[in-house]
Amino acid sequence: MKKKLVLQILAVITLIASIAWVVSDFSYEPVIVALVSASGFLILAWREQQSKHVYELDKAPDFYGKIAKMYDERNTKFLKDSHIITVKHIKEAIVDQKSADILDLGGGTGINVAAHFFNRTNITWHYVDATAEMKVAFEKNVESASFKHVSKLSDLNIYMQSCEQKFDVIVVSFALTSLPYQFDISKAASLLKEKGSLVIADIEPEYNAKYPEYAVEVDNELHALSVTQVNPLDLIESALNENLKVKFCQSIKKNDGVRYAYVIRLGK
Ligand SMILES: C[S@@+](CC[C@H](N)C(=O)[O-])C[C@H]1O[C@@H](n2cnc3c(N)ncnc32)[C@H](O)[C@@H]1O
């Protein structure tokens, strides 16, 4: 990525310098240099365009399939902070329980959330993800852990619609902004046990408005998912309509004060 940026900057500098040369001395030498640098610049821009793959939300599993092997390498401090807060609230939700069933919708590789429960023998982790490569990564990560788990390759909405079990915690960590539809809070609420909690973490809409693509470079090609904006206030409003209460809500801000992510815990 850095190499590409340096080449682009060099191409722009050469182009500007050769245009200035043409202006000051209109002879065939500066004109040739200007033409060569202009074509270099155009080739670079064209190649950049060729190696970029943009995915709309209905193709999110294709995008995650491409980036699965890089997923855990890209965690920023702020993403890690959001996951730590998410995990803290799952733990708080089950603190008094002898055993717990946790449903992880869009569980990814499992490293950011599920892994914090790997040594807990009193937990059954119900993992759901729509991307085969993510499920494979999750299963590899849990291989050596003593961890009761059930993993399912499915769209999370389809899973919820046919699910008959109830859960102590449902966690949806950074999956809602990848969905091509609105998350069904009413259905999620109906899958909670009497004292169950719904923990949701995702990117703040103002951050997604600034960066509408989630772009990852894999094998010198850029893969970008056009993410959607999910406002935490809309989630809270829908949850209140389902008689859920807000137990916790935090916005995680970057050093410049820009809201980056949110974590919400809703409960009966
Ligand atoms: C940004 S990752 C988050 C992974 C993990 N929960 C975490 O916090 O690190 C989003 C995950 O949602 C999954 N996903 C995307 N669309 C989905 C859908 N419609 N149903 C289920 N999972 C989906 C992706 O495959 C990916 O693993």
Ligand 1 atom showing the smallest separation from residue 83 Cα: 8
Total domains present in the chain = 2
Please check the confidence at residue 14 and state whether its pLDDT lies above 90. Answer: no
Q: Is the CB of 138 inside a 6 Å radius of any atom of ligand 1?
A: no
Residue 227 binned pLDDT confidence (cut-offs 50, 70, 90): very high
Structural tokens at position 111: 């490293």
* Domain ranges, residue 37: 2-50
Rounded to the nearest 10 degrees, the angle between the axes of helix 2-24 and helix 28-50 is 150
Residue 200 binned pLDDT confidence (cut-offs 50, 70, 90): very high
Q: In CATH, what number is assigned to the domain containing residue 233? A: 3.40.50.150
32, 50, 68 — which closes off a domain?
50
pLDDT at 10: 77
Rounded to 5 degrees, φ, ψ at 232 are: -60, -30
Among 174, 216, 252, which is best to mutate for testing ligand 1, by the most ligand atoms less than 8 A from CB? 174
Identify whether residues 24 and 138 lie together within a single domain.
Answer: no
Identify whether residues 250 and 172 lie together within a single domain.
Answer: yes
Which residue type is seen at 71?
Answer: Y
Query: In whole angstroms, what separates CA 48 from the centre of its chain?
Result: 23
Structural tokens at position 244: 């859920």
Please check the confidence at residue 44 and state whether its pLDDT lies above 90. Answer: no
Identify whether residues 91 and 154 lie together within a single domain.
Answer: yes
Q: What torsion, rounded to 10 degrees, do the Cα atoms 77, 80, 81, 83 define? A: 160
How far apart are the CA of 232 and the centre of ligand 1, in A?
Answer: 18
∠104-72-127 over CA atoms, to 5°?
15
Judged by average pLDDT, the poorest of 40-49, 79-88, 107-116 is 40-49
Identify whether residues 113 and 183 lie together within a single domain.
Answer: yes
